[in-house]
Every structure is written in structure tokens, then in C-alpha cells.
Chains A and B, each alone.
Chain A
Amino acid sequence: MEQFIQQVASGLANGAIYACVALALVMIFVATDHLNFAQGEMAMFSTYLTWQLIQWGLNFWVALAFSAGLSFLIGIIIERFILRPLHGAPVLSNVVVFIGLLAIFHSLAGAIWSHTIKAFPSPFPNVTFAGSGYIGPHQIGMIAVSLLLLFALFAFFRFTSLGLAMRAAAQNPASARLVGVRVDWMLALGWGLAAAIGAIAGAMVAPAVYLEPNMMASILLYGFAGALVGGIANPAGAVAGGFLVGVLENLVAYFGNMLEKATGLYVVGNGEKLMVALAIVIAILTLKPNGLFGRTIVKRV
């Protein structure tokens, strides 16, 4: 039983990692109607910026604020200069650009900061408390930050006119333009915000998995799964999906391990946990193609 609680807690902590990345994916999807494959590598690059600023003596939160701002600018620049000529181009052209960006950011980070893993400081105090054997302070902080980000995003899209304009620009550019929304700038803003969220996600992830250019490669996969299972257009759904994937994969391994201990029969184990978790994701998507919390989008033709 004790192990069960530990595995769930560790799953939630991993889930918070996936949730943060999923949020950045949702952001860019809601703002531009595309899934950005380079999201993970951009977040990794931003995390290196944060690390560099901390190395230069800045306080963690100050460094994070700076690098989030810098990432915001980088996001806008990428949209303005690289993706703008592709407005109206087929989706596949965009995908090629995303994959190109992925390779560029990956190599750039390796060239500038080398591939050696770096310890990344946790901003949360290293205290012991009742139950700290189950879940560490950084893990709790990470969960809190992902929930905070979620509420901020939710409020932004729901209660601000800018958020509304961004959603309109992504979903129906022609009509949005007619009611006076500057669609081009909305897309750029979406990129900027997604990059800034990526910077925050990276700073939360790095203390747990160590900072290196490959840091986000596999996490992005889990983030995708989380975002899709919860509903790619819904921040709350994406966060719930992230946590779900994190807990699921741990429990699959846990029950497989227990079964093997009890009966000597190996059905699933650590090697298959991702596969089983993703199989469950596929099953959910087959039954509910828009995700657990997604709304069916009806388009009038």
C-alpha cells in the first residue's frame, strides 16, 4: 500500500512535467491552430537561457522572468520572420518548418552549452515535512506551478478581450479580420506566449530530469499524449491529461511488478509502461476523438 501511494505521488510529479509542456502545446494550438513539434526544444533552449542568467548571479525568479520575456520575443520573431511567409501555405509546409526549428534549437543548445548534463537549481526550499518521503518539495512546487499556469491561461482566454481575439484569429481568421482583429499579430502573440510558457515549464522540469539538449525530447511525447487525451483546445483538459498519463504509466508498472511477484508471471513491467499508457490514450481517443474534456468543434460549411 505504501508503495502504491509513493507510485501515485511520483506519477503526479511526472504528470506535472507533462502538464506544463501540454499547456504550451495548447497555447500554440489555440492561438495558431497548429501543433508545434519544436515546442519542446524551444522550451529546452529557454531553460538554458534561465540557467545562464542564474550562473551570472541572478536570483532564480528574476532569471526566469527575464528568460520568459526573452523567449516571448524569440517566439514573436520566429513567427514574424519564419512562419509569416507561410501563412496560407499547406499544413505540411508548416510541419517541415517546425521540424527544422527542432533541429536548429537542439544543435544550437549543444554547440553553445555542450551536451554535458547540468544540475539546475530548484526554486523551492528543501524542507522535510510529513509525507516528504512520498513526494519532495520540488515536486509539490511543480504541481502548484502547473496549476497556477493553468488558471492564468484559463482566465486569459476566458475573461480578456485579447484572449478572445486570439481564439477568434486562430479559429476563423477571415471573420476575425472583418471584426477588426489584427490576425497576423495575434498569431505572433500566440507564439510568444507559448514560448514563455515553455520557459516556465522548462525551469520546472530541469531540476527533476537535469538540463541537457535532449531534456525535452521524450517529455514532448508525453506532453502530446496528455494534451490530446484531455482535449488539445482545453487548458484544463490538457493538465488533467498530463497528470493522467503520469499516474497511469507508474501504475501500469506497479501492478505489473506486483503481479509478477505474486504469480511469477510477467505480463507488463517497466519496459511496457509507456506502451500501455499510450494504448489507453488511443482507446480514449477512439471513443472520444476530441479528448476527455474537449468540445466537439462544429464547422459550418
Chain B
Amino acid sequence: MTINRRIILTASASALAASLSLSSAFAQKKYDEGASDTEIKIGNTMPYSGNASAYGNIGRTIEAVFKMVNESGGINGRKVNFVTYDDGYAPPKTVEMVRKLVEEDKVLALFNTLGTPGNTAIHKYMNAKKVPQMFVATGASKWGQPKDFAWTMGWQPDYQTEGAIYAKHILETQKDAKIGVLMQNDDYGKDYFNGFKAGLGKDNEKMIVQLSTYEVTDPTVDSQMIQLKNSGANVFFNITTPKFAAQAIKKAAEIGWKPVHYLNNVSSSFGTVFVPAGVEASQGIILALYRKDANDPQWNDAADVKAYRAFAAKYMPQANLKDDTHNYGYSVAHTMIEVLKKAGDNLTRENLMKQAASLQGFEAPLLLPGIKINTSPTDFYPIQAVQLARVKGNSFEMFGKVMANESK
């Protein structure tokens, strides 16, 4: 008995030693702060309170996606620990929370921090600390500068690209366009407008006959819509967030103004824009899409939409899927999962950025057919293709080809 036991013990000990030396010889595990054999720690800030709290659903969805991933074994055997804090959409608070994430919680990377002002406030800090600021939740055009900001990357099509695409479509289809623009008076609005002007070109800028701005504190945009109608514009570029988009669509119908109506992607939602504004009044509105609206009956049979609905039913039963922020969160979270998978056991910050900057033809769930994520060491704009569509009935009718504006 004693001999047997000794033999077994020796054998198992040597087997253990062998396996240990094997693993260290073959898979060189490399970790930065925030990563270990069992865990990957990812940080995030979201406006869970305050004026922009509607976006907080993105954070809740991402959390639910990681929960699903963890329950099915994690990524390469590691659980994702998603640490997300409320910043109330206030940049000073974002800075405070991000410093906590980086210096106290020691996260491996930030992912999908939300808002242009907040991300601007931490932009330099993240790059000085060399901690990835990945797939930020803003469409500003400034997140794709790998030369100066090698640790920051956007995700969605940037506003300038989108604005330029509308301008090109107007030049192609409208002979003598007189353009009226309604614009939210901040960086987001100006980004769209600058891209739009650049798309028209210097010679055609005079086509813009009226630029009316509004402040986010304005109760309504009625006064601006009256200005636009009276300017004689026959084309309308509507750069507004959902509530104001709904108001503008409704008011245009009320005062009998029927221009060719282009609406920014920010407000491309039936649940939060066209239904409140009135589906009747929304017919024919042209917009650029890059994701499938899970409420749109035309995607009922798409595999990714089915998977999304099943996920939502299990992990977010309370969620209102009419709210497009859930859809966004699901899609962007899967992009992050793809990068973490590709990074394998080399979970350094440098490798994470390297993997994020080498996505080729990745089709994140819920992206429209033909729209793929492409990045390279010089192209930090993951999604740069959109599909024009118009509102028809209770759905979007796609037309034309996918319009891409890839950087090299």
C-alpha cells in the first residue's frame, strides 16, 4: 500500500512539473495590469444619471453581454470584469472616474466611454498613461489619429464622413438644391455640418440658404422650423438628437413644409423618433444606416437579430428593445470581445491596440449586410461605410450601394 501510494504521488508530481514547464515553454502568457490567468478587467464610464442618462442603457447592455460571455466560460478561459461608473455626462466627473479606474482599479483598458466632451477630457491623459481608450461611444471625427493619439480609437462612422455622404447624395440627385440646416449648437452638430460643407465643396456652399441652430436647453425647435420654411429651402439637413428630431419632423408636417429631408444617423430610430413624431409625417426621410434596427420586420429572420433577441430575453428581460441604445451596446461589445479573443494570452495594452488596429472584414453582429469593420495601424476608424435608406411604412427601405469612405 505504502509503495503504491508513493509511486502515484511521484508520478503525479512529475506530471505536474512537466505540464508546468510545457505551458511556460509554449504559450508565453503576458499580462499588463488588469489581466491575469482568471480575469480581464475592463473600465468604462457612462451617464447613468443626469440629462444624458438615456445613454446609460448602453452600459447596462454591455454589462449584460459580458455576463453572458462569462456564463459560457469567458474569453480564452478568463472572465471579463466590467467596471462601469456613472459620470453624469459631466467631463470633470469623467476625469475623476477614469483616474480611479486607471490608478486604483488598475483596469487593462477603457472601453466605450461615452460622450464627446468626456472623452475629450480624458484623451491626453489616456495617451500619456498609455492605457487603451477603445471604441469610444461618440461619432466625433477626432478619435482616429493614430500618429498623435495611438491609444484612442473610435467605433461608429464618424459624423464628418456621414455628413459628406449626404452632401454627395444631394449633389447627385438634386439639380437646384436650396438647403436648410437645423443644427444642435455644439461640437457634435458642428462636426456634422463641417463634413457636410466639405462634401458639398467650396463652390456649392452657397446652396445652403439657411442655417438655424438650437441649444439643448431649448424647449422646442418650432421657431427654427418656421425660419427654415420661410427661407425657401427645398432640401433639409436635420442634425438633431432624438427628441428634437421628433419635434422637427412633427412641426414640419404641421406647418406644411415638405422638403427632401435628410436626417442624421444619431436619430435613426423608430421607437424614439419616428413613432413619437408620427410615422405618417416621417415617410420619405432619408438617412444613413450602419446597423440593423432589431424592431424592423425585414430583419426578423436574420441570425444575429434572433441571437440578439434571445440574449435580451434572457439577460435583460426588463429592457425596452425599441430603445436603439441596447442594439448599439450589443454590437460594440461584440467588437471588444473579438479583440480580446484575438489577443489570446498576450494581454498587454500594446497587444490590445495592435489587435484592435488589425481587424479586417470583421462583421460585428447587427451591422448591415456589406458593412464590415476594417482597421489598420494608420486607420483608426473601424466603421466607415453606411447604407442610405428612406423611411417607408414602418421600416427602412435601403437604396443604392453601401457607401464607403475608408481611410488607408
Asked if A and B bind, the verdict is yes
- Nearest-neighbor residue (CB-CB) of B49 within chain A: A107
Point out which of B220, B222, B224, B242 has the most chain A C-beta atoms below 10 A from its C-beta.
B222
Q: Which of the segments B191-199, B209-217, B400-408 contacts the partner chain?
A: B209-217
- Kindly state whether residue B313 has any CB partner on chain A within 8 Å: no
A116 touches B51 (CB 8 A): no
Judge if B259 is at the interface, Cβ distance under 8 Å.
Answer: no
Residues of A within 8 A of B185 (CB): 270-271
Asked whether B218 lies within 8 Å of A274 as measured between CB atoms, the reply is yes
- In the complex, are the beta carbons of A221 and B217 less than 8 A apart? yes
Residues of chain A lying within 8 A (CB to CB) of residue B293:
none
Please measure, in the bound complex, the distance between the C-alpha atom of A14 and the C-alpha atom of B251, giving whole angstroms: 13
Give 1 or 0 for each of A111-155: 1 = CB within 8 Å of chain B CB: 000111111000000000000010010000000000000000000
Shortest distance between the CB of B75 and any CB in chain A (Å): 30
With contacts A10-B222, A10-B223 taken as known, whether A217 is within 8 angstroms of B51 at the C-beta atoms is yes
Q: Tell me whether A210 and B275 are in contact in the complex, defined as CB-CB below 8 angstroms, given that A250-B223, A270-B185 are known contacts.
A: no
A116 and B218 contacting across the interface, CB-CB below 8 Å: no
Q: Which residues of A contact B322 (CB under 8 A)?
A: 116
**Contact residue among A136, A210, A213, A269 (Cβ-Cβ distance under 8 Å from B213):** A269
Q: Is the CB of B247 within 8 A of A209?
A: yes
Q: How many residues of B contact A (CB 8 A)?
A: 35
Cβ–Cβ contact B218 & A218, under 8 A: yes
1/0 contact trace for A265-283 toward B, CB 8 Å? Answer: 0000111011000000000
B346 interface contact, C-beta 8 A: no
**Alpha-carbon separation in the docked complex, A212 to B55 (Å):** 13
| Those of B174-199 within 8 Å (CB) of chain A | 185
Q: How far is the CB of B61 from chain A (nearest CB, A)?
A: 13
In angstroms, Cα B214 to Cα A210, docked, is: 17
**Chain B residue nearest to A222 in the complex (CB):** B219
Cβ of A171 under 8 Å from chain B = no
Residues on the B chain within 8 Å of A250, using CB = 223
Q: A117-B272, A119-B275, A218-B217 are in contact. Are A3 and B227 (CB under 8 A)?
A: yes
Chain A residues within an 8 Å CB radius of B246: 117, 210
Q: In the assembled complex, which residues on chain B have CB atoms less than 8 Å from the CB atom of A7? A: 223, 226
- Is there an interface contact between A3 and B230, defined as CB atoms closer than 8 Å? yes
A115 & B224 in contact (Cβ 8 Å cutoff): no
Cα A14 to Cα B218 in complex, Å, equals 10
Q: In the complex, A222 Cα to B217 Cα: how many Å?
A: 10
- B202-247 residues with Cβ-Cβ distance < 8 A to A are 212-215, 217-220, 222-224, 226-227, 230, 242-243, 246-247
Taking Cβ atoms with an 8 Å cutoff, the residues of A that contact B are 2-3, 6-7, 10-11, 13-14, 17, 107, 110, 114-119, 133, 136, 205, 208-210, 212-214, 217-219, 221-222, 249-250, 253-254, 257, 269-271, 273-274
Closest 10 CB pairs of A and B: A115-B54, A119-B276, A218-B217, A3-B230, A10-B222, A250-B223, A6-B226, A270-B213, A116-B323, A271-B185
Interface residues of B (CB under 8 A from A): 49, 51, 53-54, 56-57, 185, 212-215, 217-220, 222-224, 226-227, 230, 242-243, 246-247, 254-256, 271-272, 275-276, 320, 322-323
